[in-house]
Every structure is written in structure tokens, then in C-alpha cells.
Amino acid sequence: MQDLAWWQHSVVYEIYPRSFQDSNGDGIGDLKGILTRLDYLVRLGIDAVWISPIYPSPMADFGYDVADYCGIDPIFGTMEDFDLLLAELHRRGLRMILDFVPNHTSDQHPWFLESRSSRHNPKRDWYLWRDESNNWPSHFGGSGWELDATTNQYYYHAFLKQQPDLNWRNPDVKAAMFDALRFWLRKGVDGFRVDVMWLMIKDDQFRDNPPNPGYQLGQPSHHRLLPIYNADRPEIHDLVAEMRAVLDEFPDRVLIGEIYLPIEKLMTYYGRDMRGAHLPFNFQLLQCAWNAESVAQVISDYQGALPAGAWPNWVLGNHDKPRIASRIGASQARVAAMLLLTLPGTLTLYYGEELGMTDVPIAPEQVQDPAEKNEPGLGQGRDPERTPMPWDDSPSAGFTSGTPWLPLGDNAASNVAAIEHAPRSILTLYRRLIDLRRIHPTLVRGKLQSVIAENDVLRYERVELGTRILVLLNMNRKPVRVTLHSGTVLASTSLDREGQKLSGTIDMEAAEGLILSLDL
């Protein structure tokens, strides 16, 4: 795969650092903890880790409220720990992607403390201050505007009031933030996942958003309005191109954008002449109904909308969405693994998916997430998918010697120690599937064709000169009969059919997936 950039043939693994591995007994994961688990990541076969924010932060939104873009929060360790982790990842041939949070800072960031101190402060214009508010909401409930008593003006915050939005139209903001990027790039960080990329620029006239005619009671309150003027503004693309240019000052780095938009809009984030994000995150699999027809449709829609020269990517989970195994069940989670790892392009999975980890129920008194605290009961809470990684069956799952910051799930049967060497476990399946991409580069770069849904079986082919790989995924609860030309099984979700020669009419078990090398 020498013809591809590293990030094009990578499987990216998201680590939510609070929950991966604790090293000092405070119940919260840290960098030293991650360091002790690198060999696990190597065995899993992933290529890059994306680590959610580790910068100094009051943790109002667990690190997505940054108080210093060039430091490490003591909860996670020190800069020495960071340097060591980066070096050790690189020594093992793994890449490191950091989370960059440019839309907003913490209200404790020195820039905001200055900005709010007086209307005439040189940093006043670094944030969005107005005499009057408008109807733009916060994603975490209530108005997006906070009246600040010191100067009697409102500032805008798309998330918590402790997360004031930066004014990206101000050239000094750009310069300071781009320098923060360079700080990490110079250290050798391999790229960034950019938080809420599509929200960074707002309407310069601060026009009110129109009502959303599709709003239904019970939905989070920010859905009441259509986000016309505070999201996806035309000017965003020049800004993303500028950010990309900063990364391009360094060889071989990747820019990934977190963007929740419909496919057509998402594609615009590749930028004019592919000068935008290398990878606008594709969240289609997190959102679509789990049946062969819907999945076939999103695959075709996404692939069909890719502009010339754009590299595809697929995401199976992240720290903001319910876990896949909870959404679709344990047996379909194996099908989802096979789906993800046979799709074209760069793939991202979330820690624990390889164990079939499920959401953990959180009692009201255990809630940590501000999204749940602000709007309880609407299903906004993200704690269930952020619980500690179960490494073994000990009381704290090998995650910590203290009390974990969020409760553990039932780790008795499903933990790394129990299933890593089990020949048919989901973890073994993940390892096999990741391995298969290395053995058969057609799975990474081959053309995707003949995407069909039939009797709730999703089938597609990955094709290159001289190679045809067929994927069959039974998304049904019932066994099903399918027909095929003839070929050899490379992998099956139950890990018991490898090497079988199949042709004509074959029977597939409920929730079975097969990858076949077709005879030509």
C-alpha cells in the first residue's frame, strides 16, 4: 500500500483518556495508563490512536473546555508523559492524532478572562460579544447567550456557558490558534481531529434562526430551530483551507473534521481542489437504521457523493453516541465489525467496540455529563458510552486501583483477559478483520461495487485488477439462503468457515457475515 498516505490505509482507534487506563489510582485514566496498554493496541492491529482532549481544563465538558492549548492537564499527567507516549507510539509504528477544540475555549482560559474584563480589552474581540442576544440556542439546552455582569454584554456559547465561542473572524485568534497547532505538529503529532468544525464561523449579522417545522416534543431543545445562521456558513471553507495549510507546513499530517451534516453538505468539507479536511468524519453508520436496505442506501449515497480525489472514511462509534452493540445487539455487532472493516477508506472505531462493549446504565446520582445534567431524561447523556475499559474480571476491571469515575459495566465475562485468546471472540474477530486489510489491500483501496440489499442480506464487492472480494452480511435474525458464483471464505463472523469453498446456493446463519475471495 506504498502508494497511499499512512492515514489512507489506517484503522483509527479513539481513546477516551479518562476511561482507558488509570495509572495512579485516582479513578481517572491518564497518559501513563495508555502507555502501559500500547502492546494491546499493537496486538489489535490498529494504526493510529485519536486521543480525546488532554489539555489543561476545568473539565466542565471533560476536556472539551480547554484552558491552555499547549499543555497537559495534571489529571492526565505531564508533558514528559506526553512526549514519552508519543515516542513509544512511534517506536511501535503507531500514529497519534490529537483532538483540537477550536470553536470555543474554557471560560477559565486566560484569553477569555482578559476578554471579559472590559469592553476595551485588546482581547475583547476574540470572543463573540453583543449588546443583545438572538435566538441561537446552546447544544446543551437553553440560550446560547450569557449576560456577563462585568461589562453588561452577552457572549455566545454553542455549548456550555463555561465554553465561550471564539471569534474566528479575528486574525489574532487565527494566528494564536494556528500556533497552538504548530506547537504539537513540531513535537511530531501526526494530525488532528477538529471538534465541531462546521460550527466555527457564525453569521456576521447574527440573524435569528428560523423555526424547525420538523421539531417534535421530547427532542433536545436546540432542535426547535434550523441552524441556518450559526452553523455551516459559507466562510467556513476558507478557514478550513487555512487550517489545512498549517498542517501542510509539516510532512505527512492528517486533518479530520467532526461534522454532523447531511452527505451533500459533508462533502463540501473536502474543500475546493481537496484543500480542506483530508477526512470529514462520515457518521452515516451511527445514524442509519440497522437493516440491509438502509445500510446499502447510505453506502451508495455516500460513495456516490464523493467528489473526485476525495478519500472515503467510515466511523462506527465515538464518545458522543450510544455504543453500536447496545444499538443493534451482540450478534449484529459482529456484523457491524465486518461491515466497517470491509468498507473503503479510513476507518475509525471507539475503544471497547472490539470487546462488544455496551452502554452502561447510569443512575441519576452517578451522572457526570453536563448534557444530561442540563436536559435530563431526553437521552442526551453520554456517560453510558464513556465507562471504563474492562481489562480483566477484577472488581475495578484492571482499569484502576481506586474508584472509577464512572461505573463499570458487567465485566465478568467480557473483558480483554477473558476473550483475547478465545478463538471465536469478538476481539479475535476484530483482530482477524484488521489483519485481513493488510493481507488484502483490495479491502482498503479496491473499488466498491454491486452494493445490493436482498432479503435483509447486504452484499457488495471490493474489486481490483485480478481480485474480487465478496462481502455478504446477514442483517436478519433468521437464517437465509443466498447464491453466489464460487469462491473461498477469507473470514466469517463466527470465525469457523475460513478456507471453505462455496458456490451456488449457500445457507447463512442468522447474523452471519462472510468475506469471500471470488474465483475469477
Nearest to 61 by CA among 407, 387, 381: 381
Active site (annotated) includes residue 293: no
| Burial environment of residue 484 by CB neighbours within 10 A (0 to 12, 13 to 18, 19 or more) | middle
Which parts of 304-323 interact with ligand NOJ (CB under 6 A)?
319-320
Q: How many Cα atoms sit within 13 Å of 91 on the Cβ side? A: 9
Q: Which is nearer to ligand NOJ, 386 or 459 (CB)?
A: 386
Which own/partner contact pairs does 203-208 have at CB distance under 8 Å and 24+ positions apart?
203/229, 203/230, 203/233, 204/169, 205/229, 206/130, 206/134, 206/136, 207/134, 208/134, 208/135, 208/136
What residue type is assigned to position 228 of the chain?
A: I
Q: Which is nearer to ligand NOJ, 153 or 163 (CB)?
A: 163
Q: Quick check: 260 binds ligand NOJ (CB under 6 A)?
A: no
Shortest distance, position 370 Cβ to ligand NOJ, whole Å: 8
Q: Which is nearer to ligand NOJ, 196 or 267 (CB)?
A: 196
Q: Quick check: 195 binds ligand NOJ (CB under 6 A)?
A: yes
Q: Which is nearer to ligand NOJ, 285 or 448 (CB)?
A: 285
For residues 50 and 62, give the distance between their C-alpha atoms in angstroms, rounded to a whole number.
16
Shortest distance, position 230 Cβ to ligand NOJ, whole Å: 14
Residue nearest ligand NOJ by beta-carbon distance: 64
Q: Quick check: 385 binds ligand NOJ (CB under 6 A)?
A: no
Shortest distance, position 63 Cβ to ligand NOJ, whole Å: 9
Selected binder of ligand NOJ within 96, 101, 296, 434 (CB under 6 A): 101
Which of 172, 249, 498, 519 is the catalytic position?
249
Selected binder of ligand NOJ within 69, 126, 159, 302 (CB under 6 A): 159
| Burial environment of residue 30 by CB neighbours within 10 A (0 to 12, 13 to 18, 19 or more) | buried
What residue type is assigned to position 435 of the chain?
A: D
Q: Which is nearer to ligand NOJ, 385 or 461 (CB)?
A: 385
Per-residue HEC secondary structure of 344-390 comes to CCEEEEECCHHHCCCCCCCCHHHCCCHHHHHCCCCCCCCHHHHCCCC
**By rule CB under 6 A, what count of residues binds ligand NOJ?**
9
Cα angle 487, 425, 319 (rounded to 5 degrees) comes to: 105
Selected binder of ligand NOJ within 173, 196, 472, 475 (CB under 6 A): 196
For residues 106 and 113, give the distance between their C-alpha atoms in angstroms, rounded to a whole number.
10
348 phi, psi to nearest 5 deg: -125, 130
Active site (annotated) includes residue 195: yes
Q: Which is nearer to ligand NOJ, 354 or 372 (CB)?
A: 372
Q: Which residues bind ligand NOJ (CB under 6 A)?
A: 61, 64, 101, 159, 195-196, 258, 319-320
The residues carrying an active-site annotation are 195, 249
